[in-house]
């Protein structure tokens, strides 16, 4: 039946459009309800504005209770050594380097010692912030009989630019994303119009049939009752 095919297509269209992810740029929206994904940090910051240095380490055994502390180190472009810039532990956040005082905010896991996101936010990035950042998770997994300590580290090589540049790949993929979303919506609209017309055509036909049937019924009854007036329901 055409009608039900149209209706199924409509429903499919709705489902697709609602399932389709909304375009989200750059940083992934990850920290929903305990779900964790190790998304790499962005590596290009724009001078004069803030930048989130991402660092995520997911716990492999989610059922094991863990606590973690975090350290960040930085080595400026052309410098030989790393120096300690930031710590986050049970005492809270500490900026460890004069160069970063008042310029770093915690952007990681909130209200938990079981830190899996150790991202920090650099305010007002300068060209001197170019270089290599390294974050360390010191994680203690509390098993029944013993504690297990791991150290996980991630590296972010940051480039500071005067203005945001975007790779062609990201422009193309964003364009495709909008194109697909708009395409799906246009399709959905067409389907809705199609369905609506099907439904109303169907409805009219049904009405007409009902009216005919009633007319016939009245006519026959009228004959039987020799002209007595009958009122339909």
Ligand X SMILES: *[C@@H]1O[C@H](CO)[C@@H](O)[C@H](O)[C@H]1NC(C)=O
Positions in the binding site for ligand X (CB under 6 A): 48, 105, 107, 121, 124, 126, 128
Which CB atom, from 43 or from 128, has the smaller least distance to ligand X? 128
| Residue of 146, 30, 140, 133 lying closest to 75 (CA atoms) | 133
In angstroms, what is the minimal distance from the CB of 90 to ligand X? Answer: 20
Which CB atom, from 59 or from 109, has the smaller least distance to ligand X? 109
Which CB atom, from 10 or from 51, has the smaller least distance to ligand X? 51
In angstroms, what is the minimal distance from the CB of 107 to ligand X? Answer: 4
In order of 28, 152, 180, the CA distances from 170 in angstroms are 14, 30, 15
Phi, psi (5° rounding) for residue 86?
A: -160, 140
Which CB atom, from 27 or from 225, has the smaller least distance to ligand X? 27
d(C-alpha 156, C-alpha 200), whole Å: 60
In angstroms, what is the minimal distance from the CB of 56 to ligand X? Answer: 12
| Residue of 45, 95, 50, 37 lying closest to 70 (CA atoms) | 95
For Cα atoms 131, 132, 133, give the angle at the middle one, nearest 5 degrees: 125
In angstroms, what is the minimal distance from the CB of 30 to ligand X? Answer: 10
In order of 56, 176, 214, the CA distances from 64 in angstroms are 18, 41, 73
In angstroms, what is the minimal distance from the CB of 147 to ligand X? Answer: 30
Which CB atom, from 128 or from 212, has the smaller least distance to ligand X? 128
């Amino acid at each position: 039946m055409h009608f039900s095919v149209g209706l199924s297509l409509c429903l499919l269209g709705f489902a697709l459009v609602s399932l389709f992810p909304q375009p989200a740029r750059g940083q992934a929206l990850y920290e929903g309800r305990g779900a964790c994904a190790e998304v790499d940090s962005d590596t290009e910051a724009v001078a004069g504005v803030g930048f989130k240095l991402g660092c995520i380490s997911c716990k492999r055994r989610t059922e094991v209770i863990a606590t973690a502390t975090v350290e960040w180190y930085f080595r400026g472009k052309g410098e030989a050594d790393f120096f300690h810039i930031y710590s986050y532990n049970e005492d809270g956040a500490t900026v460890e380097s004069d160069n970063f005082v008042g310029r770093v905010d915690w952007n990681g896991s909130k209200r938990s010692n079981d830190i899996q996101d150790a991202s920090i936010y650099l305010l007002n990035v300068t060209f001197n912030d170019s270089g290599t950042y390294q974050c360390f998770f010191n994680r203690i997994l509390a098993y029944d009989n013993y504690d297990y300590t791991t150290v996980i580290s991630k590296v972010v090589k940051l480039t500071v630019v005067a203005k945001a540049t975007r790779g062609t790949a990201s422009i193309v993929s964003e364009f495709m994303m909008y194109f697909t979303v708009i395409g799906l919506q246009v399709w959905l609209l067409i389907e809705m119009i199609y369905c609506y017309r099907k439904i109303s055509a169907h409805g009219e036909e049904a009405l007409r049939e009902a009216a005919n049937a009633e007319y016939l019924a009245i006519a026959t009854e009228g004959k039987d009752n020799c002209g007595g007036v009958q009122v339909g329901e």
